[in-house]
């Protein structure tokens, strides 16, 4: 599960986690939603990124964020494939953890990687994706922090 397109550093890291073993990825990406604007702003303040906190309301969300998320997902899948991994993916419309669980069951996944930016409020209360997924998917969940830039356009230029 990802929130932003993977950077080259992210791709290198996840594709080399298992040495020379052939790996495949099913990437799930959820477009930004209005439900987490406040949490994102609090996280920005906690990180000292006050300008980002102020701009949270300007970010596209819901259906307007889908086109951006589709582009970010396509960029991520291409980068994983360029690194030699098999990769498929889909946007998450609703209930990301239910979809994650069904994808784990459907594909026989050995583990789940949640690549995210820090979310202090959610993590403190164990409401972040990784913490919640650990109780739902039945396989090990590895939580990694992304190196993704804040501007999705920067990640897709290239």
Alpha helices in the chain (DSSP H): 8-15, 37-46, 50-55, 63-82, 96-107, 120-124, 129-134, 152-156
pLDDT of 29 reads 87
**pLDDT, tens only, 49-104:** 656 555 544 555 556 667 888 888 999 999 999 999 999 998 987 778 888 899 99
pLDDT of 120 reads 61
Please check the confidence at residue 147 and state whether its pLDDT lies above 80: no
Tokens found for residue 34: 């209005």
Least confident of 14-23, 34-43, 62-71: 34-43
pLDDT of 154 reads 38
What's this model's pTM, rounded to 2 decimal places?
Answer: 0.70
With contact defined as beta carbons under 8 Å apart, do 23 and 107 qualify?
no
CB count in 10 Å sphere of residue 107 = 12
With contact defined as beta carbons under 8 Å apart, do 92 and 28 qualify?
yes
């Amino acid at each position: 599960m990802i929130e932003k397109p993977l950077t080259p550093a992210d791709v290198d890291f996840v594709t080399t986690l298992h040495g020379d073993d052939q790996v495949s990825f099913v990437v799930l990406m959820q477009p930004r939603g209005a439900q987490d604007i406040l949490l994102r702003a609090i996280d920005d303040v906690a990180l000292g990124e006050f300008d980002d906190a102020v701009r949270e309301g300007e970010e596209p969300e819901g259906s307007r964020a889908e086109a951006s998320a589709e582009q970010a997902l396509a960029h991520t899948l291409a980068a994983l494939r360029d690194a030699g991994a098999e990769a498929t993916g889909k946007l998450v419309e609703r209930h990301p953890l239910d979809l994650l669980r069904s994808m784990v069951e459907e594909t026989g996944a050995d583990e789940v990687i949640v690549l995210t930016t820090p979310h202090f409020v959610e993590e403190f209360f164990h409401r972040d994706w990784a913490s919640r997924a650990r109780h739902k998917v039945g396989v090990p969940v590895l939580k990694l922090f992304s190196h993704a830039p804040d501007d999705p356009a920067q990640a897709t230029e290239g």
